[in-house]
Structure 1
Amino acid sequence: MRRQNVHDEQAGWLTWLQGLLADRGYDVTSARSGDKTRLALDAGIAPATVTRILTGKAPDLEVQVTLSRFLRVSLDEMLVRTGKASDSDFRHSANESGQTPVSSETRLTPEELAVAAGVSKEDREWFATMVRRLRKQDDEKGSAAGGAAAEG
């Protein structure tokens, strides 16, 4: 019975990962797409590691950290999905800690960002102006780093 549970966990992990990758434009199910190699290069992990992962083998901690950063998912979710940890291993979920999850795939307006960051009503206009200035500076420099930082 334990063997079946391990197989189910691996299948669940792989399905979840393939879905995330597909959402980001990687077709890792096709042998001819070249996306496995592209994924390895983009994520900064070895092609052999990508191959092992795509057979359903959960990567070691270092690779999970790299993947969680690359895929923009929390490390605790990655560890739970791979079966290396359970939800109860983490003291606080996002709801219990009062944190608001932010997806960097949808750019927040400066006003939305102010609300999400808990900026007081009196300071929101100032805050929004500063975020716009940071974004403008980044656009002029051709960099997304400050804008991404300003977005959360």
Structure 2
Amino acid sequence: MKNSKRDTTPARPHASASPAEFGRWLAERLESLGYDLSGPRSGGRTAFAADSGISPSTVTRLLRGEMPTDTRILRTLAEAIRVDYPVVLVRAGVLTPDELAAVQQPSTSPRITPEQAADQLGITDPAERKVFVNMAKTLRRTPDGGEQQLAE
């Protein structure tokens, strides 16, 4: 049956090698939460189904490694086992760890200096270049993009 302790150990995203591995991972997670999965009549699957709102047949399929095509089930599962949804998506093979990392920390173009921007824009006149560089530096350090200083 369900353990009343709240597990707060964060799960790390690791890709499951196979659906069967996902089933084993889920079984370990459920057991760590206090669900008895020692046998077909142990009550853990039924208790988890009742607690999570996932049908008993779906719980059985998940534990067997039969993956759902509906990611809403995986979201519900993630909430029920207290694991971040993206971690469950990786474990279920919906995302790879690299895809998850790309979504969580998208690469951005490297910032260029005002001087580099002037070069790329072809601003070569020394006076125009100085105005451009100073304006870019001013706009970068004001919280509102420089509009307030310009309006004053």
TM-score band, normalised by the shorter chain? 0.5 to 0.7
Matches within 5 A, 1:39-50: 39-50=48-59
* Corresponding residue number in structure 2 for 1:35: 44
**Aligned partners of 2:21 and 2:53: how far apart in 1?**
24
* Corresponding residue number in structure 2 for 1:62: 72
Say how many residue pairs are matched: 87
1:72 aligns to 2:77 (yes or no): no
Mind listing any 5+ residue stretches in structure 1 that lack a counterpart?
Answer: 1-6, 94-152
Displacement of 1:11 in angstroms is: 2.1
Indicate conservation of the 8 Å contact 2:24/2:63, yes or no: no
Instruction: State the AA in 2 paired with 1:46.
Output: S
Local SS of the residue matching 2:18: helix
Matches within 5 A, 1:1-152: 8-59=17-68, 60-90=70-100, 91=102, 92=104
Instruction: State the AA in 1 paired with 2:96.
Output: S
Mind listing any 5+ residue stretches in structure 2 that lack a counterpart?
Answer: 1-15, 106-152
CA RMSD of aligned residues (A): 1.8
Instruction: State the AA in 2 paired with 1:13.
Output: F
Could you say which structure has the greater relative contact order, defined with CA pairs below 8 angstroms and 6 or more residues apart? 2
Displacement of 1:78 in angstroms is: 0.4
**Aligned partners of 2:84 and 2:91: how far apart in 1?**
11
Displacement of 1:45 in angstroms is: 0.9
Identity %: 37
Indicate conservation of the 8 Å contact 2:23/2:63, yes or no: yes
**Aligned partners of 1:14 and 1:54: how far apart in 2?**
4
* Corresponding residue number in structure 2 for 1:118: none
**Aligned partners of 2:25 and 2:60: how far apart in 1?**
16
**Aligned partners of 2:65 and 2:37: how far apart in 1?**
12
Instruction: State the AA in 2 paired with 1:43.
Output: S
